[in-house]
Chain A
Amino acid sequence: MNIQPAEIKNPKSKIRNTLSVWIALAGIVAGLVSIPQWTTNANALNLLFLIFIFITMSQSWNILGGFAGQISLGHAAFFGIGALVMRVLWIGGMEFFIAMPIAGVVAALCAFVVGIPTFRLRGAYFSIGTLALAEALRLTIANVLPTVSTMPARYIAAFDLAQRYYVALAIAVITMLATYLLMRSRWMLGWLAIREDEEAAQATGVQLLWHKLAASGISSFFAGLAGAVFSFQQVSYYPSSVFVATWTFDPVLIAFIGGVGTLIGPVIGAIFFIAIREQLVITLPSLHPIIFGIMFILIVLVFPGGLVDIGTRLQQWMQKRRVKSS
Protein backbone atom coordinates (compact mmCIF):
# COMPACT_ATOMS: atom_id res chain seq x y z
CA MET A 1 0.00 0.00 0.00
CA ASN A 2 1.03 3.59 -0.51
CA ILE A 3 2.75 5.48 2.21
CA GLN A 4 0.63 8.44 3.19
CA PRO A 5 2.82 11.27 4.40
CA ALA A 6 -0.27 12.99 5.82
CA GLU A 7 -0.49 10.24 8.41
CA ILE A 8 3.02 10.77 9.71
CA LYS A 9 2.55 14.47 10.47
CA ASN A 10 2.48 15.25 14.16
CA PRO A 11 -0.81 16.52 15.57
CA LYS A 12 0.66 19.82 16.78
CA SER A 13 1.57 20.95 13.29
CA LYS A 14 -1.89 19.84 12.14
CA ILE A 15 -3.55 22.13 14.68
CA ARG A 16 -1.23 24.93 13.64
CA ASN A 17 -2.16 24.32 9.99
CA THR A 18 -5.92 24.43 10.60
CA LEU A 19 -5.49 27.55 12.71
CA SER A 20 -3.56 29.31 9.96
CA VAL A 21 -6.19 28.28 7.41
CA TRP A 22 -8.95 29.80 9.55
CA ILE A 23 -6.94 33.00 10.07
CA ALA A 24 -6.34 33.26 6.32
CA LEU A 25 -10.06 32.75 5.62
CA ALA A 26 -11.05 35.36 8.19
CA GLY A 27 -8.56 37.70 6.52
CA ILE A 28 -10.09 37.13 3.09
CA VAL A 29 -13.62 37.71 4.40
CA ALA A 30 -12.49 40.85 6.26
CA GLY A 31 -10.86 42.07 3.04
CA LEU A 32 -14.08 41.49 1.10
CA VAL A 33 -16.09 43.25 3.80
CA SER A 34 -13.82 46.31 3.57
CA ILE A 35 -14.03 46.65 -0.24
CA PRO A 36 -17.13 48.92 -0.32
CA GLN A 37 -15.32 51.19 2.16
CA TRP A 38 -12.64 52.15 -0.31
CA THR A 39 -14.42 51.85 -3.64
CA THR A 40 -17.84 52.81 -4.93
CA ASN A 41 -17.04 51.51 -8.40
CA ALA A 42 -20.35 49.91 -9.36
CA ASN A 43 -18.76 47.60 -11.93
CA ALA A 44 -16.37 46.11 -9.41
CA LEU A 45 -19.08 45.65 -6.79
CA ASN A 46 -21.48 44.13 -9.31
CA LEU A 47 -18.82 41.73 -10.51
CA LEU A 48 -18.12 40.56 -6.98
CA PHE A 49 -21.86 40.38 -6.32
CA LEU A 50 -22.21 38.01 -9.28
CA ILE A 51 -19.30 35.92 -8.06
CA PHE A 52 -20.99 35.56 -4.64
CA ILE A 53 -24.27 34.52 -6.28
CA PHE A 54 -22.48 31.94 -8.39
CA ILE A 55 -20.51 30.61 -5.44
CA THR A 56 -23.80 30.10 -3.60
CA MET A 57 -25.54 28.53 -6.60
CA SER A 58 -22.65 26.29 -7.51
CA GLN A 59 -22.09 25.15 -3.92
CA SER A 60 -25.81 24.49 -3.66
CA TRP A 61 -25.64 22.26 -6.72
CA ASN A 62 -22.47 20.68 -5.37
CA ILE A 63 -24.10 19.65 -2.06
CA LEU A 64 -26.66 17.63 -3.98
CA GLY A 65 -24.69 16.59 -7.07
CA GLY A 66 -21.10 16.53 -5.86
CA PHE A 67 -21.60 14.94 -2.45
CA ALA A 68 -24.91 13.09 -2.56
CA GLY A 69 -24.53 12.17 -6.25
CA GLN A 70 -28.04 13.28 -7.25
CA ILE A 71 -27.75 15.27 -10.46
CA SER A 72 -30.15 18.21 -10.63
CA LEU A 73 -30.66 19.47 -14.18
CA GLY A 74 -33.14 22.09 -13.06
CA HIS A 75 -31.49 24.11 -10.34
CA ALA A 76 -32.85 27.19 -12.10
CA ALA A 77 -36.26 26.14 -10.75
CA PHE A 78 -35.13 26.62 -7.15
CA PHE A 79 -33.21 29.78 -7.97
CA GLY A 80 -36.25 31.18 -9.79
CA ILE A 81 -38.70 30.24 -7.04
CA GLY A 82 -36.44 31.94 -4.47
CA ALA A 83 -36.27 35.06 -6.66
CA LEU A 84 -40.02 35.13 -7.21
CA VAL A 85 -41.02 34.60 -3.58
CA MET A 86 -38.49 37.19 -2.41
CA ARG A 87 -39.65 39.74 -4.96
CA VAL A 88 -43.32 39.35 -4.09
CA LEU A 89 -42.84 39.44 -0.32
CA TRP A 90 -40.26 42.20 -0.26
CA ILE A 91 -42.06 44.53 -2.66
CA GLY A 92 -45.21 43.63 -0.73
CA GLY A 93 -43.60 45.29 2.29
CA MET A 94 -41.83 42.53 4.19
CA GLU A 95 -38.33 43.13 5.57
CA PHE A 96 -35.78 41.60 3.19
CA PHE A 97 -34.05 39.56 5.91
CA ILE A 98 -37.36 37.86 6.77
CA ALA A 99 -38.44 37.37 3.15
CA MET A 100 -35.10 35.81 2.20
CA PRO A 101 -35.23 32.70 4.42
CA ILE A 102 -38.88 32.22 3.46
CA ALA A 103 -37.81 32.22 -0.20
CA GLY A 104 -35.24 29.56 0.63
CA VAL A 105 -37.77 27.40 2.44
CA VAL A 106 -40.29 27.60 -0.42
CA ALA A 107 -37.54 26.53 -2.84
CA ALA A 108 -36.73 23.59 -0.56
CA LEU A 109 -40.40 22.56 -0.52
CA CYS A 110 -40.39 22.57 -4.34
CA ALA A 111 -37.43 20.19 -4.21
CA PHE A 112 -39.52 17.78 -2.13
CA VAL A 113 -42.30 17.96 -4.71
CA VAL A 114 -39.91 16.61 -7.35
CA GLY A 115 -37.90 14.44 -4.99
CA ILE A 116 -40.63 12.46 -3.23
CA PRO A 117 -41.95 10.75 -6.38
CA THR A 118 -38.64 10.51 -8.32
CA PHE A 119 -36.19 9.45 -5.61
CA ARG A 120 -38.08 6.20 -5.17
CA LEU A 121 -37.11 5.27 -8.71
CA ARG A 122 -33.64 4.29 -9.74
CA GLY A 123 -31.83 6.10 -12.54
CA ALA A 124 -32.19 9.51 -14.10
CA TYR A 125 -35.75 10.28 -12.97
CA PHE A 126 -34.78 12.96 -10.48
CA SER A 127 -32.61 14.70 -13.09
CA ILE A 128 -35.43 14.60 -15.62
CA GLY A 129 -37.92 15.71 -12.98
CA THR A 130 -35.90 18.78 -12.04
CA LEU A 131 -35.36 19.65 -15.70
CA ALA A 132 -39.09 19.38 -16.33
CA LEU A 133 -39.92 21.45 -13.24
CA ALA A 134 -37.62 24.28 -14.32
CA GLU A 135 -39.03 24.37 -17.85
CA ALA A 136 -42.64 24.11 -16.68
CA LEU A 137 -42.11 26.95 -14.21
CA ARG A 138 -40.35 29.09 -16.82
CA LEU A 139 -43.21 28.73 -19.30
CA THR A 140 -45.91 29.16 -16.67
CA ILE A 141 -44.30 32.26 -15.17
CA ALA A 142 -43.78 33.72 -18.67
CA ASN A 143 -47.52 33.32 -19.27
CA VAL A 144 -48.77 34.44 -15.88
CA LEU A 145 -46.28 37.27 -15.34
CA PRO A 146 -45.36 38.36 -18.88
CA THR A 147 -44.37 41.95 -18.02
CA VAL A 148 -41.10 43.17 -16.61
CA SER A 149 -40.92 43.42 -12.81
CA THR A 150 -39.57 46.80 -11.71
CA MET A 151 -38.81 48.01 -8.21
CA PRO A 152 -41.17 50.72 -6.94
CA ALA A 153 -39.72 54.24 -7.24
CA ARG A 154 -39.05 54.67 -3.52
CA TYR A 155 -37.17 51.34 -3.48
CA ILE A 156 -35.00 52.57 -6.37
CA ALA A 157 -34.39 55.87 -4.58
CA ALA A 158 -33.26 53.97 -1.48
CA PHE A 159 -31.19 51.44 -3.48
CA ASP A 160 -27.77 50.90 -1.91
CA LEU A 161 -25.39 48.74 -3.92
CA ALA A 162 -23.06 48.23 -0.96
CA GLN A 163 -25.92 46.73 1.04
CA ARG A 164 -26.68 44.26 -1.81
CA TYR A 165 -23.00 43.44 -1.93
CA TYR A 166 -22.95 42.65 1.79
CA VAL A 167 -26.08 40.53 1.63
CA ALA A 168 -24.67 38.48 -1.26
CA LEU A 169 -21.35 38.10 0.57
CA ALA A 170 -23.13 37.01 3.74
CA ILE A 171 -25.20 34.39 1.89
CA ALA A 172 -22.11 33.03 0.13
CA VAL A 173 -20.21 32.81 3.45
CA ILE A 174 -23.18 31.12 5.15
CA THR A 175 -23.42 28.61 2.28
CA MET A 176 -19.71 27.84 2.54
CA LEU A 177 -19.88 27.45 6.32
CA ALA A 178 -22.94 25.22 6.06
CA THR A 179 -21.17 23.04 3.48
CA TYR A 180 -18.11 22.84 5.72
CA LEU A 181 -20.25 21.74 8.68
CA LEU A 182 -22.15 19.25 6.51
CA MET A 183 -18.86 17.74 5.35
CA ARG A 184 -17.97 17.00 8.95
CA SER A 185 -21.43 15.67 9.82
CA ARG A 186 -22.55 12.06 9.98
CA TRP A 187 -25.09 12.72 7.21
CA MET A 188 -22.24 13.40 4.81
CA LEU A 189 -21.08 9.78 5.17
CA GLY A 190 -24.53 8.61 4.09
CA TRP A 191 -24.58 11.00 1.12
CA LEU A 192 -21.13 9.95 -0.04
CA ALA A 193 -22.08 6.30 0.33
CA ILE A 194 -25.20 6.84 -1.81
CA ARG A 195 -23.13 8.67 -4.42
CA GLU A 196 -20.65 5.79 -4.56
CA ASP A 197 -23.05 2.83 -4.59
CA GLU A 198 -26.73 2.98 -3.69
CA GLU A 199 -27.17 -0.73 -3.12
CA ALA A 200 -24.10 -1.06 -0.94
CA ALA A 201 -25.12 2.06 0.99
CA GLN A 202 -28.53 0.59 1.65
CA ALA A 203 -27.00 -2.71 2.75
CA THR A 204 -24.93 -0.68 5.22
CA GLY A 205 -28.06 0.86 6.74
CA VAL A 206 -28.35 4.15 4.83
CA GLN A 207 -32.00 5.09 4.15
CA LEU A 208 -31.92 6.26 0.55
CA LEU A 209 -35.11 8.33 0.33
CA TRP A 210 -34.56 10.42 3.47
CA HIS A 211 -30.95 11.12 2.66
CA LYS A 212 -31.71 12.17 -0.88
CA LEU A 213 -34.60 14.37 0.25
CA ALA A 214 -32.46 16.02 2.90
CA ALA A 215 -29.68 16.72 0.39
CA SER A 216 -32.08 18.15 -2.18
CA GLY A 217 -33.91 20.21 0.46
CA ILE A 218 -30.73 21.77 1.85
CA SER A 219 -29.34 22.31 -1.63
CA SER A 220 -32.50 23.97 -2.89
CA PHE A 221 -32.74 26.14 0.20
CA PHE A 222 -29.40 27.73 -0.72
CA ALA A 223 -30.37 27.97 -4.40
CA GLY A 224 -33.52 29.78 -3.25
CA LEU A 225 -31.41 32.16 -1.16
CA ALA A 226 -29.22 32.88 -4.18
CA GLY A 227 -32.33 33.66 -6.21
CA ALA A 228 -33.65 35.87 -3.41
CA VAL A 229 -30.41 37.88 -3.33
CA PHE A 230 -30.58 38.25 -7.10
CA SER A 231 -34.14 39.61 -7.16
CA PHE A 232 -33.28 41.84 -4.19
CA GLN A 233 -30.57 43.45 -6.34
CA GLN A 234 -32.21 43.67 -9.79
CA VAL A 235 -33.95 46.97 -10.44
CA SER A 236 -36.00 45.40 -13.21
CA TYR A 237 -36.09 41.96 -14.82
CA TYR A 238 -38.50 39.57 -16.49
CA PRO A 239 -39.82 37.16 -13.83
CA SER A 240 -39.36 34.20 -16.19
CA SER A 241 -35.71 35.06 -16.94
CA VAL A 242 -34.52 33.60 -13.62
CA PHE A 243 -35.91 30.20 -14.63
CA VAL A 244 -33.86 29.86 -17.83
CA ALA A 245 -31.50 26.91 -18.13
CA THR A 246 -28.34 29.01 -17.89
CA TRP A 247 -29.10 29.39 -14.17
CA THR A 248 -28.78 25.63 -13.99
CA PHE A 249 -25.87 25.01 -16.30
CA ASP A 250 -23.56 27.87 -15.32
CA PRO A 251 -23.44 26.64 -11.71
CA VAL A 252 -22.88 23.07 -12.95
CA LEU A 253 -20.01 24.24 -15.19
CA ILE A 254 -18.55 26.18 -12.28
CA ALA A 255 -18.69 23.15 -10.00
CA PHE A 256 -16.95 20.98 -12.61
CA ILE A 257 -14.34 23.61 -13.48
CA GLY A 258 -13.52 24.22 -9.83
CA GLY A 259 -13.84 20.67 -8.55
CA VAL A 260 -16.98 18.61 -7.95
CA GLY A 261 -17.42 17.24 -4.45
CA THR A 262 -14.93 19.62 -2.87
CA LEU A 263 -15.54 22.55 -0.54
CA ILE A 264 -13.38 25.08 -2.32
CA GLY A 265 -14.09 23.99 -5.93
CA PRO A 266 -17.18 26.18 -6.44
CA VAL A 267 -15.28 29.25 -5.16
CA ILE A 268 -12.37 28.76 -7.53
CA GLY A 269 -14.74 27.84 -10.32
CA ALA A 270 -16.95 30.89 -9.79
CA ILE A 271 -14.04 33.34 -9.75
CA PHE A 272 -12.50 31.76 -12.82
CA PHE A 273 -15.82 31.51 -14.67
CA ILE A 274 -17.04 35.06 -14.00
CA ALA A 275 -13.64 36.67 -14.60
CA ILE A 276 -13.20 34.92 -17.95
CA ARG A 277 -16.81 35.34 -18.98
CA GLU A 278 -16.79 39.10 -18.36
CA GLN A 279 -13.61 39.42 -20.43
CA LEU A 280 -14.95 37.30 -23.29
CA VAL A 281 -18.31 39.01 -23.37
CA ILE A 282 -16.55 42.32 -23.98
CA THR A 283 -13.88 41.15 -26.44
CA LEU A 284 -15.61 38.33 -28.33
CA PRO A 285 -19.34 38.70 -27.66
CA SER A 286 -20.54 36.25 -30.31
CA LEU A 287 -17.88 33.61 -29.82
CA HIS A 288 -17.76 33.42 -26.05
CA PRO A 289 -20.08 30.43 -25.54
CA ILE A 290 -17.98 28.36 -27.98
CA ILE A 291 -14.72 29.35 -26.35
CA PHE A 292 -16.25 28.53 -22.98
CA GLY A 293 -17.39 25.15 -24.19
CA ILE A 294 -13.94 24.25 -25.49
CA MET A 295 -12.29 25.46 -22.31
CA PHE A 296 -14.68 23.40 -20.21
CA ILE A 297 -13.93 20.25 -22.22
CA LEU A 298 -10.18 20.83 -21.94
CA ILE A 299 -10.32 21.36 -18.19
CA VAL A 300 -12.44 18.29 -17.62
CA LEU A 301 -10.14 16.19 -19.86
CA VAL A 302 -6.86 17.36 -18.37
CA PHE A 303 -8.01 17.84 -14.78
CA PRO A 304 -11.02 15.60 -14.17
CA GLY A 305 -11.01 16.77 -10.55
CA GLY A 306 -11.29 20.41 -11.60
CA LEU A 307 -8.92 23.28 -10.92
CA VAL A 308 -8.46 22.23 -7.27
CA ASP A 309 -6.90 19.09 -8.72
CA ILE A 310 -3.97 21.16 -10.01
CA GLY A 311 -3.05 21.96 -6.43
CA THR A 312 -3.25 18.39 -5.18
CA ARG A 313 -1.32 17.09 -8.20
CA LEU A 314 1.43 19.63 -7.66
CA GLN A 315 1.59 18.58 -4.01
CA GLN A 316 1.85 14.90 -4.97
CA TRP A 317 4.51 15.68 -7.54
CA MET A 318 6.58 17.62 -5.00
CA GLN A 319 6.21 14.83 -2.44
CA LYS A 320 7.41 12.29 -4.99
CA ARG A 321 10.43 14.46 -5.77
CA ARG A 322 11.21 14.83 -2.10
CA VAL A 323 10.99 11.06 -1.56
CA LYS A 324 13.29 10.49 -4.56
CA SER A 325 15.91 12.99 -3.44
CA SER A 326 16.02 11.76 0.16
Chain B
Amino acid sequence: MLLKLENLSKSFGGLKAVRELNVTVEAGEIIGLIGPNGAGKTTLFNLITGTYKPDAGRITFRDHEITRHNPSSRCKQGIARTFQHVRPFHHLSLLDNVAVGCVYGRQTARSRGEAERIAREMLQLVGVHESPQVHAGELTLMNRKRVELARALATQPYLLLLDEWMAGLNPSEQREALGLIRRLRTQGITIILVEHLVKAVFDISDRVVAMDAGEKIAEGTPSQVANDPKVIEAYLGPDMGGE
Protein backbone atom coordinates (compact mmCIF):
# COMPACT_ATOMS: atom_id res chain seq x y z
CA MET B 1 0.00 0.00 0.00
CA LEU B 2 1.37 3.39 -1.02
CA LEU B 3 -0.92 5.91 0.64
CA LYS B 4 -3.46 5.50 3.40
CA LEU B 5 -5.84 8.20 4.58
CA GLU B 6 -7.63 7.39 7.83
CA ASN B 7 -10.58 9.37 9.20
CA LEU B 8 -9.26 12.55 7.65
CA SER B 9 -11.16 15.74 8.52
CA LYS B 10 -10.61 19.38 7.69
CA SER B 11 -12.85 22.38 8.40
CA PHE B 12 -12.64 26.00 7.39
CA GLY B 13 -14.55 27.96 9.98
CA GLY B 14 -17.95 26.28 10.09
CA LEU B 15 -17.53 24.53 6.74
CA LYS B 16 -16.51 20.90 6.90
CA ALA B 17 -14.55 20.62 3.65
CA VAL B 18 -13.46 17.02 4.25
CA ARG B 19 -15.03 14.74 6.86
CA GLU B 20 -13.85 11.39 8.16
CA LEU B 21 -12.47 10.31 4.85
CA ASN B 22 -10.86 6.89 4.39
CA VAL B 23 -9.01 6.07 1.18
CA THR B 24 -6.27 3.60 0.40
CA VAL B 25 -4.10 3.86 -2.69
CA GLU B 26 -2.05 0.94 -4.02
CA ALA B 27 1.22 1.44 -5.88
CA GLY B 28 0.81 1.66 -9.65
CA GLU B 29 -2.88 2.62 -9.64
CA ILE B 30 -4.55 5.51 -11.37
CA ILE B 31 -7.21 6.83 -9.04
CA GLY B 32 -9.81 9.26 -10.27
CA LEU B 33 -11.37 11.66 -7.80
CA ILE B 34 -14.72 13.08 -8.84
CA GLY B 35 -17.43 15.13 -7.25
CA PRO B 36 -19.42 18.31 -7.83
CA ASN B 37 -17.97 21.75 -7.14
CA GLY B 38 -17.21 22.22 -3.47
CA ALA B 39 -17.14 18.49 -2.77
CA GLY B 40 -13.72 18.84 -1.12
CA LYS B 41 -11.52 17.39 -3.87
CA THR B 42 -8.93 20.16 -3.88
CA THR B 43 -8.94 20.29 -0.08
CA LEU B 44 -8.18 16.59 -0.05
CA PHE B 45 -5.32 17.21 -2.48
CA ASN B 46 -3.94 19.91 -0.24
CA LEU B 47 -4.13 17.56 2.72
CA ILE B 48 -2.18 14.88 0.85
CA THR B 49 0.51 17.33 -0.34
CA GLY B 50 0.74 19.04 3.05
CA THR B 51 -0.49 22.49 2.07
CA TYR B 52 -3.18 22.01 4.74
CA LYS B 53 -2.80 20.07 7.98
CA PRO B 54 -5.85 17.96 8.87
CA ASP B 55 -7.89 18.73 12.00
CA ALA B 56 -8.14 15.02 12.68
CA GLY B 57 -7.06 11.76 11.10
CA ARG B 58 -3.87 10.21 9.87
CA ILE B 59 -1.93 10.10 6.61
CA THR B 60 0.51 7.25 5.99
CA PHE B 61 2.80 7.22 2.96
CA ARG B 62 5.06 4.24 2.24
CA ASP B 63 4.67 3.02 5.83
CA HIS B 64 5.63 6.38 7.38
CA GLU B 65 3.20 8.70 9.05
CA ILE B 66 3.37 12.10 7.33
CA THR B 67 0.28 13.77 8.83
CA ARG B 68 2.27 16.74 10.15
CA HIS B 69 5.00 16.95 7.50
CA ASN B 70 5.26 20.12 5.43
CA PRO B 71 4.96 20.12 1.62
CA SER B 72 8.69 20.26 0.86
CA SER B 73 9.36 17.26 3.10
CA ARG B 74 6.53 15.31 1.43
CA CYS B 75 7.94 16.16 -1.98
CA LYS B 76 11.31 14.76 -0.92
CA GLN B 77 9.54 11.59 0.20
CA GLY B 78 7.97 11.20 -3.23
CA ILE B 79 4.71 13.12 -3.45
CA ALA B 80 4.50 15.60 -6.34
CA ARG B 81 1.65 17.67 -7.66
CA THR B 82 0.40 20.05 -10.31
CA PHE B 83 -1.88 22.96 -9.48
CA GLN B 84 -5.49 23.56 -10.50
CA HIS B 85 -4.49 26.99 -11.84
CA VAL B 86 -1.26 26.13 -13.55
CA ARG B 87 1.73 27.56 -11.68
CA PRO B 88 5.05 27.21 -13.44
CA PHE B 89 7.81 29.66 -12.42
CA HIS B 90 6.90 32.31 -14.99
CA HIS B 91 10.15 34.27 -15.22
CA LEU B 92 12.42 31.23 -15.32
CA SER B 93 13.45 29.29 -18.39
CA LEU B 94 11.80 25.94 -18.98
CA LEU B 95 15.10 24.30 -18.15
CA ASP B 96 15.37 26.09 -14.79
CA ASN B 97 11.72 25.37 -14.01
CA VAL B 98 12.31 21.66 -14.27
CA ALA B 99 15.84 21.77 -12.82
CA VAL B 100 14.31 22.99 -9.53
CA GLY B 101 12.55 19.64 -9.31
CA CYS B 102 15.77 17.77 -10.08
CA VAL B 103 17.67 19.58 -7.33
CA TYR B 104 15.07 19.54 -4.56
CA GLY B 105 13.03 16.42 -5.21
CA ARG B 106 13.34 12.87 -3.95
CA GLN B 107 16.54 12.36 -5.92
CA THR B 108 18.95 15.26 -5.56
CA ALA B 109 20.98 16.22 -8.60
CA ARG B 110 24.58 16.72 -7.54
CA SER B 111 25.24 19.73 -9.77
CA ARG B 112 23.45 22.27 -11.95
CA GLY B 113 24.81 20.41 -14.96
CA GLU B 114 23.32 17.10 -13.88
CA ALA B 115 20.04 18.83 -13.01
CA GLU B 116 19.88 20.38 -16.46
CA ARG B 117 20.60 17.07 -18.16
CA ILE B 118 17.71 15.39 -16.32
CA ALA B 119 15.53 18.46 -16.92
CA ARG B 120 16.06 18.12 -20.67
CA GLU B 121 14.93 14.47 -20.50
CA MET B 122 11.80 15.47 -18.59
CA LEU B 123 10.97 18.23 -21.07
CA GLN B 124 11.40 15.66 -23.84
CA LEU B 125 9.08 13.26 -22.02
CA VAL B 126 6.24 15.79 -21.81
CA GLY B 127 6.92 17.15 -25.28
CA VAL B 128 8.22 20.72 -24.81
CA HIS B 129 11.89 20.40 -25.59
CA GLU B 130 12.35 22.59 -28.68
CA SER B 131 13.35 25.78 -26.86
CA PRO B 132 14.32 25.10 -23.26
CA GLN B 133 15.59 28.66 -22.75
CA VAL B 134 12.18 30.31 -23.25
CA HIS B 135 10.50 31.67 -20.13
CA ALA B 136 7.59 29.56 -18.92
CA GLY B 137 5.30 32.60 -18.85
CA GLU B 138 5.54 32.93 -22.63
CA LEU B 139 4.00 29.52 -23.33
CA THR B 140 0.44 28.50 -24.22
CA LEU B 141 -1.73 27.01 -21.48
CA MET B 142 -1.14 23.45 -22.69
CA ASN B 143 2.61 23.92 -22.74
CA ARG B 144 2.63 25.58 -19.35
CA LYS B 145 0.81 22.52 -18.04
CA ARG B 146 3.42 20.31 -19.66
CA VAL B 147 6.22 22.27 -17.99
CA GLU B 148 4.51 22.06 -14.63
CA LEU B 149 4.15 18.31 -15.12
CA ALA B 150 7.81 18.00 -16.11
CA ARG B 151 8.76 19.88 -12.94
CA ALA B 152 6.68 17.50 -10.84
CA LEU B 153 8.15 14.46 -12.60
CA ALA B 154 11.67 15.79 -12.11
CA THR B 155 11.25 15.29 -8.37
CA GLN B 156 11.05 11.52 -9.11
CA PRO B 157 7.73 11.00 -7.32
CA TYR B 158 6.14 7.70 -6.30
CA LEU B 159 2.80 9.47 -6.20
CA LEU B 160 1.68 12.21 -8.56
CA LEU B 161 -1.41 14.35 -7.94
CA LEU B 162 -2.93 16.04 -10.95
CA ASP B 163 -5.41 18.76 -10.02
CA GLU B 164 -7.74 19.54 -12.96
CA TRP B 165 -4.91 18.88 -15.32
CA MET B 166 -7.18 18.73 -18.37
CA ALA B 167 -9.26 21.82 -17.58
CA GLY B 168 -9.11 24.48 -20.26
CA LEU B 169 -7.74 22.17 -22.94
CA ASN B 170 -9.44 21.63 -26.28
CA PRO B 171 -10.53 18.08 -27.23
CA SER B 172 -7.39 17.23 -29.17
CA GLU B 173 -5.20 18.52 -26.34
CA GLN B 174 -7.27 16.44 -23.91
CA ARG B 175 -6.54 13.33 -25.96
CA GLU B 176 -2.86 14.21 -25.85
CA ALA B 177 -3.04 14.74 -22.10
CA LEU B 178 -4.69 11.34 -21.56
CA GLY B 179 -1.96 9.71 -23.63
CA LEU B 180 0.66 11.42 -21.52
CA ILE B 181 -0.92 10.22 -18.27
CA ARG B 182 -1.05 6.64 -19.58
CA ARG B 183 2.62 6.89 -20.49
CA LEU B 184 3.44 7.97 -16.94
CA ARG B 185 1.73 4.93 -15.54
CA THR B 186 4.02 2.69 -17.60
CA GLN B 187 6.90 4.36 -15.71
CA GLY B 188 5.47 3.01 -12.48
CA ILE B 189 4.14 6.29 -11.09
CA THR B 190 0.94 6.11 -9.07
CA ILE B 191 -1.48 8.86 -10.03
CA ILE B 192 -4.42 10.50 -8.29
CA LEU B 193 -6.31 12.86 -10.54
CA VAL B 194 -9.09 15.29 -9.92
CA GLU B 195 -11.04 16.20 -12.99
CA HIS B 196 -14.26 17.91 -13.91
CA LEU B 197 -14.42 15.93 -17.13
CA VAL B 198 -16.03 12.85 -15.64
CA LYS B 199 -15.80 10.93 -18.89
CA ALA B 200 -12.05 11.40 -19.07
CA VAL B 201 -11.71 10.18 -15.47
CA PHE B 202 -13.75 7.05 -16.17
CA ASP B 203 -11.70 6.38 -19.31
CA ILE B 204 -8.35 6.43 -17.61
CA SER B 205 -8.82 5.44 -13.96
CA ASP B 206 -8.44 1.98 -12.46
CA ARG B 207 -10.53 3.05 -9.52
CA VAL B 208 -12.75 6.05 -8.90
CA VAL B 209 -13.55 7.77 -5.61
CA ALA B 210 -16.61 10.01 -5.62
CA MET B 211 -16.99 12.79 -3.06
CA ASP B 212 -19.85 15.03 -2.11
CA ALA B 213 -20.00 17.64 0.66
CA GLY B 214 -16.66 16.48 2.06
CA GLU B 215 -17.60 12.81 2.29
CA LYS B 216 -16.75 9.79 0.24
CA ILE B 217 -20.03 8.62 -1.30
CA ALA B 218 -18.77 5.88 -3.58
CA GLU B 219 -15.64 3.99 -4.48
CA GLY B 220 -14.93 1.28 -7.04
CA THR B 221 -14.28 0.59 -10.68
CA PRO B 222 -15.37 3.32 -13.09
CA SER B 223 -18.49 1.41 -14.14
CA GLN B 224 -19.50 0.69 -10.53
CA VAL B 225 -19.19 4.34 -9.58
CA ALA B 226 -20.86 5.57 -12.77
CA ASN B 227 -23.96 3.52 -11.97
CA ASP B 228 -24.02 4.27 -8.26
CA PRO B 229 -27.34 6.02 -7.44
CA LYS B 230 -25.65 8.24 -4.84
CA VAL B 231 -23.20 9.51 -7.45
CA ILE B 232 -25.95 10.18 -9.97
CA GLU B 233 -27.91 11.97 -7.29
CA ALA B 234 -24.91 14.12 -6.32
CA TYR B 235 -24.37 15.20 -9.89
CA LEU B 236 -27.92 15.46 -11.18
CA GLY B 237 -29.99 16.16 -8.08
CA PRO B 238 -32.32 13.90 -6.04
CA ASP B 239 -35.15 13.83 -8.62
CA MET B 240 -33.05 12.32 -11.36
CA GLY B 241 -31.19 10.05 -8.95
CA GLY B 242 -34.43 8.42 -7.87
CA GLU B 243 -35.18 7.12 -11.36
Contacts and interface: CB of A to CB of B under 8 A. Distances in A.
A196 B148 CA distance: 13
B204 interface: no
A205 B131 contact: no
B89 A205 contact: no
B224 interface: no
Interface stretch (A48-56, A70-78, A152-160, A181-189): A181-189
Contact of A203 (B80, B90, B96, B143): B80
A2 B140 CA distance: 12
A201 B112 CA distance: 17
A199 B87 contact: yes
Interface string B106-144: 100101100100000000000010111110001100010
B72 A205 contact: yes
A204 B134 contact: no
A202 interface: yes
Given A204-B105, A204-B151, A193 B100 contact: yes
Contact of A186 (B75, B81, B112): B112
Contacts of B100: 189-190, 192-193, 201, 204, 206
A200 B87 contact: yes
B89 A192 contact: yes
Interface string A206-222: 11100000000000000
Contacts of B73: 207
B83 interface: yes
Interface string B66-80: 000011110110001
B205 interface: no
Contacts of B115: 186, 189
Interface-central residue, A2, A202, A203, by most chain B CB under 10 Å = A203
B49 interface: yes
A3 B132 CA distance: 10
Contacts of A184: 112
B197 interface: no
Contact of A207 (B72, B87, B89, B138): B72
Contact of B139 (A1, A4, A197, A206): A1
A6 B95 CA distance: 14
A2 B96 contact: no
B131 A204 contact: no
B105 A7 contact: no
A2 B87 contact: no
A189 B96 contact: yes
Q: How large is the interface on A (under 10, 10 to 19, 20 to 34, 35 or more residues)?
A: 20 to 34
Contact of A202 (B72, B96, B134): B72
A77 B75 CA distance: 36
Contact of B133 (A4, A185, A201, A207): A4
A3 B51 CA distance: 38
A199 B152 CA distance: 13
Contact of B81 (A3, A203, A207): A203
B92 interface: yes
Contacts of B109: 186
B62 interface: no
B75 A204 contact: yes
Given A4-B131, A190-B100, A199-B51, A205 B83 contact: no
B155 interface: yes
B131 A196 contact: no
B18 interface: no
A186 B80 CA distance: 20
Nearest to B152: A204
B101 interface: yes
B131 A2 contact: yes
A205 B75 contact: yes
B155 to A, nearest CB: 6
Given A189-B96, A203-B49, A205-B104, A196 B72 contact: no
Interface in A1-35: 1-4, 6-7
A298 to B, nearest CB: 23
Contacts of B64: none
A69 to B, nearest CB: 10
Nearest to A1: B131
B103 interface: yes
B91 interface: yes
Contact of A1 (B49, B80, B87, B143): B143
B224 to A, nearest CB: 32
B96 A200 contact: no
Nearest to B75: A205
Interface of B: 49, 51, 70-73, 75-76, 80-81, 83, 87-92, 96, 99-101, 103-106, 109, 111-112, 115, 128, 130-134, 138-139, 143, 151-152, 155
10 contacts: A1-B128, A1-B130, A2-B131, A4-B133, A186-B109, A189-B115, A196-B90, A196-B91, A200-B88, A203-B83
Which 9 pairs from chain A and chain B are nearest by CB?
A205-B104, A196-B89, A205-B75, A202-B71, A200-B87, A193-B100, A186-B103, A4-B131, A189-B100
